[in-house]
């Protein structure tokens, strides 16, 4: 393969320097190596198809088709349940009785290497058995994947299946015991090697409802006339390996362009629209996306929005959280991003400290290479986009983690000279339910230096190992690594 055009593009892109208006520094550029460029191409081939059963409606057991987020499925002796006794992440899950089946009426074009399914008994029903089957001939014949599974728990459990299927494939869930006991199924995830259920790749939604362009900020992937629109223009379908980040106008357009080049789809949630989860009438409901990116919010989340975000994550979504330093209230409404993120995590109806960390009211400026020494296999620090060695803050906050609140929380980079413990952290990861969270507490490192007229921005995205860190984190959040 001729790698020269891709390498020339990245060498040109990575030849810049730093930062946003009130926070100056003078870094050096670090271009991607040829190996990292090849890793980027490999990552573009990875796909995951997720069906969370949040969209669509089917309230009766009679056989019939229903349109879900991934496509049309046939439900036979099965329905979509939203009762308190339905075991589910989010608003609803599939419910199957007797010898019922749930069958894809479409093909995933990228094959399958593994499948995971969440399952639990409905209400106080007894145990049941079920199987996963797959078809490579458009549903004419099916083959069982793995062994028969017994469902006996009243809380969702994960069943995992390993496959080696190439080309087109579709799946079917079969209840096999024939009893009236009912099973709930949720979060069916197919990992493949290429293609996707409905267009391939993952869907990333960038928030613009929380004053992300207030003051000198410009934390959007694209804006027209200074106003972020749902769909960036020109169309992302015309992006190629050599498309520059100036293709779109926004201080994080480099990020959006990089995600599209890796085979994903990006959108913006425009100002004035709603953050919801499980709302079938909202075309930009979070259930339609894999990762939600919120870059330095400057307006508090409402109670309903906090519930939606936390349910989105617990249901398998990825949340990319970006904060800035304390006293960084860009729209002068009395709330800055550390306050807003902490309010989400401490003042909600879902869980107290769900992610196991809080954002400190601090303000630091430094370049740190204090990367987690125990993270040699960590996909964020050493993922498909390359190794992470340094992170530069220009007026950012710090993080304190609390493993007793969430044992999955993990600091990734600390301030220089500090012990790698629960404080002085610059970025961290966690999980909640079946979802994932990444947090970084400065909005500077992803600034690419371009944005709306009048904003004084600086280049940080391509320096040090910022691109590697944020692209690895993005793909990890999307369950692509």
Structure confidence by residue, pLDDT tens digits, 339-351: 999 999 999 999 9
pLDDT band for position 225 (cuts 50, 70, 90): confident
pLDDT band for position 245 (cuts 50, 70, 90): confident
Query: Cα separation of 289 and 291, whole Å?
Result: 6
Query: Cα separation of 320 and 337, whole Å?
Result: 13
Least confident of 10-19, 148-157, 457-466: 10-19
Q: Which of 268, 285, 275 lies closest to 223, judged by CA?
A: 268
- Residue 351, pLDDT score: 94
N-term to C-term CA, the chain: 24
Question: Does pLDDT of 238 surpass 90?
Answer: no
Question: Does pLDDT of 9 surpass 90?
Answer: no
Higher pLDDT among residues 397 and 454, named by residue:
397
- Residue 25, pLDDT score: 38
CB-based contacts of 222-229 (< 8 A; 24+ apart in sequence)? 222/248, 222/249, 222/250, 222/253, 222/256, 222/268, 223/249, 223/250, 223/451, 223/452, 224/249, 226/452, 226/453, 227/270, 227/271, 228/268, 228/270, 228/271, 229/268, 229/270
Write the pLDDT tens digit of every residue in 113-158. Answer: 889 999 999 999 999 999 999 998 889 899 999 999 999 999 999 9
pLDDT band for position 459 (cuts 50, 70, 90): confident
Mean pLDDT of 221-237: 89
Please give the backbone phi and psi of residue 248, each rounded to the nearest 5 degrees, phi first. Answer: -120, 160
Write the pLDDT tens digit of every residue in 414-430. Answer: 999 999 999 999 999 99
Question: Does pLDDT of 62 surpass 70?
Answer: yes
Instruction: Walk me through the domains of the chain, giving residue ranges and CATH numbers.
Output: 4-46+199-477 (3.40.50), 48-192 (2.60.120.260)
pLDDT band for position 194 (cuts 50, 70, 90): very low
- Residue 363, pLDDT score: 96
Write the pLDDT tens digit of every residue in 73-98. Answer: 999 999 999 999 999 998 999 999 99
Cα R_g (the chain), whole angstroms: 22
Question: Does pLDDT of 163 surpass 50?
Answer: yes
pLDDT band for position 241 (cuts 50, 70, 90): confident
Least confident of 233-247, 262-276, 332-346: 233-247
Mean pLDDT of 386-412: 96
Query: Cα separation of 325 and 329, whole Å?
Result: 9
pLDDT band for position 456 (cuts 50, 70, 90): low
Question: Does pLDDT of 406 surpass 70?
Answer: yes
Mean pLDDT of 46-55: 81
Mean pLDDT of 33-62: 67
Tokens 């990825």 belong to which residue? 318
Share of the chain above pLDDT 70, in %: 87
Give the mean pLDDT of the chain: 87
Query: 3-class secondary structure for the chain?
Result: CCCHHHHHHHHHHCCCCCCCCCCCCCCCECCCCHHHHHHHHHHHHCEEEEECCCCCCCCCCCCEEEECCCCEEEEEEEEEECCCCCCCCCCCEEEEEEEEEEEECCCECCCEEEEEEEEEECCCCCCEEEEEEEECCCCCCCEEEEEEEEECCCCCEEEEEEEEECCCEEEEEEECCCCCCCEEEEEEEEEECCCCCCCCCCEEEEECCCCCCCCCCCCCCCCECCECCCCCCCCHHHCCCCCCHHHCCCCCHHHHHHHHHCCCEEEEECCCCCCCCCCCCCCCCHHHCCEEEEECCCCCCCHHHHHHHHHHHHCCCEEEEECCCCCCCCCCCCCCHHHHHHHHHHCCCCCCCCCCEEECCCCEEEEECEECCCCCCCCCCEECCEECCCEEEEEECCEEECCCCCCCCEEEEECCCCCCCCCCEEEEEEEECCEEEEEECCCCCCCECCCCCCCCCCECCCECCHHHHHHHHHHHHCCCC
Report in angstroms the alpha-carbon separations of 286 from 68, 90, 222, 279, 480: 14, 11, 20, 9, 18
pLDDT band for position 455 (cuts 50, 70, 90): low
């Amino acid at each position: 393969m001729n790698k020269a055009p891709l390498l020339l593009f990245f060498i040109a892109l990575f030849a810049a320097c730093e930062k946003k208006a009130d926070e100056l520094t003078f870094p050096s550029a670090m271009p991607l190596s040829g190996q990292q460029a090849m890793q980027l191409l490999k990552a573009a081939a990875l796909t995951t198809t997720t069906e969370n059963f949040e969209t669509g409606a089917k309230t009766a057991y009679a056989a019939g088709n229903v349109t879900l987020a991934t496509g049309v499925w046939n439900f036979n002796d099965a329905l979509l349940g939203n009762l308190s006794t339905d075991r589910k992440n989010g608003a609803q899950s599939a419910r199957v009785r007797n010898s019922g089946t749930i069958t894809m009426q479409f093909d995933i074009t990228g094959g399958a290497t593994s499948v995971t399914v969440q399952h639990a008994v409905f209400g106080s029903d007894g145990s049941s058995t079920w199987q996963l089957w797959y078809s490579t001939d458009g549903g004419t014949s099916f083959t069982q994947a793995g062994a028969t599974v017994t469902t006996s728990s009243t809380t969702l459990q994960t069943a995992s299946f390993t496959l080696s299927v190439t080309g087109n494939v579709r799946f079917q869930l079969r209840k096999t015991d024939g009893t009236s006991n009912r099973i709930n199924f949720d979060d069916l995830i197919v990992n493949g090697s290429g293609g996707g259920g409905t267009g391939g790749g993952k869907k990333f939604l960038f928030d613009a409802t929380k004053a992300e362009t207030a003051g000198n900020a410009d934390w959007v992937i694209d804006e027209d006339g200074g106003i972020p629109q749902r769909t960036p223009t020109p169309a992302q379908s015309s992006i190629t390996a050599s498309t520059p980040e100036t293709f779109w106008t926004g201080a994080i357009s480099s990020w959006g362009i990089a995600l599209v080049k890796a085979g994903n789809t990006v959108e913006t949630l425009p100002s004035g629209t709603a953050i919801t989860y499980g709302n079938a009438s909202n075309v930009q409901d979070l259930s339609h996306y894999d990762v939600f990116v919120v870059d330095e919010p400057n307006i508090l989340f409402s109670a309903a929005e906090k519930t939606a975000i936390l349910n989105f994550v617990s249901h398998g979504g990825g949340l990319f959280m970006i904060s800035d330093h304390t006293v960084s209230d860009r729209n002068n409404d009395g709330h800055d991003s550390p306050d807003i993120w902490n309010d989400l995590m401490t003042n909600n109806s879902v869980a107290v400290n769900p992610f196991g960390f809080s954002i400190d009211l601090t303000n630091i400026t430094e370049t740190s290479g204090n990367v987690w020494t125990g993270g040699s296999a960590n996909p964020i620090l050493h993922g498909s986009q390359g190794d992470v060695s340094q992170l530069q803050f220009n007026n950012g906050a710090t993080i304190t983690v609390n493993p007793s609140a969430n044992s999955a929380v993990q600091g990734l980079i600390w301030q220089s000279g500090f012990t790698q413990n629960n404080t002085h952290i610059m970025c961290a990861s966690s999980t909640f339910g079946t979802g994932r969270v990444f947090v970084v507490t400065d909005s500077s490192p992803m600034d690419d230096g371009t944005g709306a007229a009048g904003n004084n921005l600086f280049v940080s995205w391509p320096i040090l190992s910022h691109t590697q860190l944020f692209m690895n984190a993005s793909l990890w959040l999307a369950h692509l690594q």
